[in-house]
Chains A and B, each alone.
Chain A
Amino acid sequence: MVTITYDGTFEGWLTVVFEVYEYKFADVEICKKELFQPNVFNKHRESQFDQQKFTRVWKGLAAKLSTSALSALYKTFLSEEKGIENVLLSYVQYTLNSKQSIERDYSNATVLKVAQTAKRVYRESHRMEAFVRFQLTADNLYYAICQPDFNVLPLIQKHFKERYADQRWLIYDSSRNYGIYYNLSVVENVVMSFDEQTNKGKNIEIITDEKEELYQRLWQQYFASVNIAARKNMKLHIQHMPKRYWKFLPEKHAF
């Protein structure tokens, strides 16, 4: 058994896939560099990202899979689930071994697993599109902090860029410690030093705009007023809005 470590990026993982074919490894385990624990029984190989290898695998896959299946692969990767790299490797092997596309062979455990994981990641990205709440700072930046279950910021940046094309915004994933920032022309990744306790960045201006509190209060009022007490159904409420998201939702903080 060979353990291959890589840099943790999607491109890095595709490089590993190339090397599995290149060196004809039969029995491999892929693992992120920072999670690697040496094991006396396994050989270890460290893989370096290689643009050419990455492109060749990606093109090979694109020839056999539809765009939606390719995007499902990427989403599944973003789930960061333990061992998901190995599931994805066997998906790739199954794809390259078959003449026709296998993306809809749901009776195959690997294909079903990828379809279902991609669905869960999609759902989380859709939730983030819904539950991100911006606050306006005094220097006209709309900023939001979130802690999504999966690494979904790469999936939602297009949505926010198209929607808020005329405002500067920052969405920060405080559990993965990076954010996406839109400066009115492009979206870029940013890293800030971050205070876990207060959930506020040390180097962002946290002086909020004077109107910010008013609009949060109005939103809380609105949220309370549209509720129909005679139809109370907390189970459904929590099912749709799980408690782990409440921390960042102003409407769930009584005024």
Chain B
Amino acid sequence: MSERLTEKLSILADAAKYDVSCSSSGSSRKNENKGLGNSKGVGICHAYTEDGRCVSLLKILLTNHCIFDCAYCVSRKSNDIKRAAFTVQEVVDLTINFYRRNYIEGLFLSSGIFKNADYTMERLVRIAKKLRHEHNFNGYIHLKAIPGASDELLKEAGLYADRLSVNVEMPTEQSLKLLAPDKNRKDMIAPMKYLKGAIEENREEKRLFKKAPLFAPAGQSTQMVIGATPENDMQILWMANQFYEKMKLKRVYYSGYVPISNDNRLPAIGTPVPMIRENRLYQADWLLRFYGFKVEEIVNYDNPLLDTDIDPKLSWALRNLHLFPLDINKADLSMIMRIPGIGVSSANKIVAARKFNKLSWDNLKKFGIAVNRARNFVTCQSDHFSFKDWMPQQIKERILQSGTSKYTPNFSPQLKLF
């Protein structure tokens, strides 16, 4: 009995791991009446796997039986793998017992599509309902909204889940058609739109009546597979930007394609996972969400690709040298955040501290900013590192030479023998 459960867990966790979202933050579900669990906004990563990714939620599929045949997915119909399915009780027991031992922040439940969308969605909702009602569980629940599921089911899901997500999978409609012929983009956009409306409505209601029920308090998110299809970074980031602006998504995740299939529409098995590109996309995403950048400042028709050897903020700065150098003791916060090597919290520190004293390089170093990058764009109370009129290419060389990127081996055209 326990062996079968272990086997199921290994199959269904393995199949769920390509969904990258693991966030457990942004909710506001309080523990009332001495129940179990509390989601207070700050996420917690309880463990990190050997690939360095965080484990915050019990991320599993309800089943990996699937009627669809999407080329990029391990659970596709035509793939010859072991299939398994959890019972409702098994998922509930695992979640509760892992949670009580402080292994996890909650449950991330997804599923292969069996029978049809509604049938699958209904099972997911039933589990969330049972956790909330029968076990008084206030931990984090992230449910996958199955494309094509009815609005009624989505509405019910939102009442129990903290976050809902619909994966668009591919950055463009053409790629989706090519790789997932059974799916269509409309079915994915429809639930997103519905959720956007329902979430906004609920926030409004909450503002008026404090006691109104929670509806997906941590919002919705989505995921795109990167590197399986020929889209460039501009297409990907513009699409992400649309999701942030039009659909009010909390997060867009980028998942570097891990080759799992010999299908000739896809990169062959053994092709390296595009990790640097994925990393640069996330950096660009952060610039959009926290640094006040507009998407066209990061990628545009003249620069459709993100540089791999330097980060997107530095590339932007090198293209806009006319805005620099900035005086750290005078510039606006919004501009200080745009200086390469200075993050949001250092920028805030600078703006707070300069009210007391003029800041010098010594201060900046102690705040923990990346001086080797920032010194090319900044002046301050000091005559060290005086600013010179370098060309963008010279600055880039200087920066690359002064530090070693963890990705350096990837940039070298030389074959590595050992």
Q: What is A's interface to B at a CB cutoff of 8 Å?
A: 102, 104-108, 112, 126, 129-136, 142, 144, 159, 162-167, 211, 214-215, 217-219, 221-237, 239-241, 249, 251
B94 touches A218 (CB 8 A): yes
Q: Which residues of A contact B48 (CB under 8 A)?
A: 236-237, 240-241
Q: Smallest CB–CB gap between A155 and chain B, Å?
A: 13
Q: Which residues of B contact A251 (CB under 8 A)?
A: 47
Asked if A165 meets B31 with Cβ closer than 8 Å, knowing A134-B102, A231-B51, the reply is yes
Write out the residue numbers on chain A whose beta carbons fall within 8 Å of the beta carbon of B45.
Answer: 130, 240
B107: interface (CB < 8 Å): no
Does A219 contact B17, Cβ atoms closer than 8 Å? no
B361 to chain A, nearest CB (A): 12
Q: Whole-angstrom distance from the CB of B410 to the nearest CB of chain A?
A: 13
Output the least CB separation between A228 and chain B (Å): 5
Which of B1-9, B177-185, B210-218, B282-290 lies at the interface with chain A?
B1-9
B352 engages A225 (CB within 8 Å) = no
B103 at the interface (CB under 8 A from A): yes
- Contact residues of B between 110 and 153, Cβ < 8 Å to A: 136
- Looking at the complex, which one of B17, B94, B101, B354 makes contact with A133 (CB distance below 8 Å)? B101
Contact of A105 among B44, B273, B353 (CB under 8 A): B353
- List the 10 closest pairs (A to B, CB-CB), nearest first: A236-B52, A104-B352, A106-B353, A225-B13, A231-B51, A233-B52, A227-B49, A240-B48, A105-B356, A107-B357
* Chain B 21-48 per-residue mask, 1 if CB under 8 angstroms from chain A, else 0: 0000000001100111110101011111
Residues of B within 8 A of A133 (CB): 101-103
Q: A162-B31, A227-B51 are in contact. List 14 more A-B contacts (CB 8 A).
A: A105-B356, A107-B353, A142-B100, A165-B35, A165-B36, A215-B101, A218-B5, A222-B9, A223-B55, A225-B13, A225-B14, A234-B52, A240-B54, A249-B47
Q: How far is the CA of A169 from the CA of B172 in the complex (A)?
A: 50
In contact, A167 and B100 (Cβ under 8 angstroms): yes
Interface CB pairs A-B, < 8 A, 9: A106-B367, A130-B46, A133-B102, A163-B31, A165-B31, A218-B9, A226-B16, A226-B59, A230-B258
Complex Cα gap A226–B20 (Å): 10
| Pair A106/B349 contact, Cβ less than 8 Å | yes
B153 to chain A, nearest CB (A): 27
Which residues of A have CB within 8 Å of B10? 221-222, 224-225
B6 touches A166 (CB 8 A): no
Query: Which residues of chain B in 93-110 are interfacial with respect to chain A, using CB atoms and an 8 Å cutoff?
Result: 94, 97-98, 100-103
Q: Which residues between 282 and 313 of chain B lie within 8 Å of chain A, taking CB atoms? A: none
B47–A241 CB distance below 8 A: yes
- Asked whether, in the complex, the Cβ of B363 is within 8 Å of the Cβ of A107, the reply is yes
Q: How large is the interface on B (under 10, 10 to 19, 20 to 34, 35 or more residues)?
A: 35 or more
A232 in complex: contacting residue of B31, B34, B51, B353, CB < 8 Å = B51
Complexed CA–CA distance, A60 and B185 (Å): 62
Instruction: Please give the distance in Å from A255's CB to the nearest CB on chain B.
Output: 10
The answer to whether residues A126 and B44 also contact, given A135-B101, A165-B35 and a CB cut-off of 8 A, is yes
Bound-state CA distance A132–B18 (Å) is: 27
Residues of B within 8 A of A167 (CB): 36, 100
B101–A142 touching, CB < 8 Å: yes
Interfacial chain A residues near B100, Cβ < 8 Å = 134, 136, 142, 164, 167
Alpha-carbon distance A227/B49, docked complex (angstroms): 6
B residues near A129, Cβ cutoff 8 Å: 44
**Are the C-beta atoms of A222 and B13 separated by less than 8 Å?**
yes
Whether, in the assembled complex, B317 has its beta carbon less than 8 Å from a beta carbon of chain A, the answer is no
Bound-state Cα–Cα, A201 to B38, Å = 29
> Does chain A have a CB within 8 A of B67?
no
Taking a contact as CB atoms under 8 Å apart, the answer to whether A237 and B353 are in contact is no
Contact B38 A163 (CB under 8 A): yes
Query: Chain A residues near B101 (CB, 8 Å)?
Result: 133-136, 142, 215, 219
Supposing A237-B52, A240-B48 touch, asked if A102 and B13 sit within 8 A by C-beta, the answer is: no
In the assembled complex, B53 has its CB within 8 A of some CB on chain A: yes
A201 to B258, CA, bound (A): 46
Assess whether B51 is in contact with A237, with CB atoms less than 8 Å apart.
yes
Residue from B38, B52, B97 having most chain A Cβ neighbours under 10 A = B52
Instruction: Tell me, yes or no, whether B190 is within 8 Å of chain A by CB.
Output: no
* B50 interfacial contact with A, CB 8 Å: yes
Tell me, in angstroms, the Cα distance from A108 to B359 when the chains sit together. 10
Q: In the complex, what distance in Å separates the CA atom of A129 from the CA atom of B354?
A: 35
A120 CB to nearest B CB, Å: 12
Interface centre among A132, A217, A223, A229 (most CB of B within 10 A): A223
- CB-nearest residue of chain B to A104: B352
Instruction: Decide if B188 is an interface residue (CB 8 Å cutoff).
Output: no
Identify which of B5, B18, B47, B258 gathers the most chain A CB atoms within 10 Å of its CB.
B47
Q: Does B322 lie at the interface of the complex (its beta carbon under 8 Å from any beta carbon of A)?
A: no
Smallest distance from the beta carbon of A51 to chain B beta carbons, Å?
33
Residue of A135, A211, A221 with most chain B CB atoms under a 10 A cut-off:
A221
Chain B stretch 238-262: residues in CB contact (< 8 A) with chain A: 256, 258-259
Min distance, Cβ A93 to any Cβ of chain B, angstroms: 16
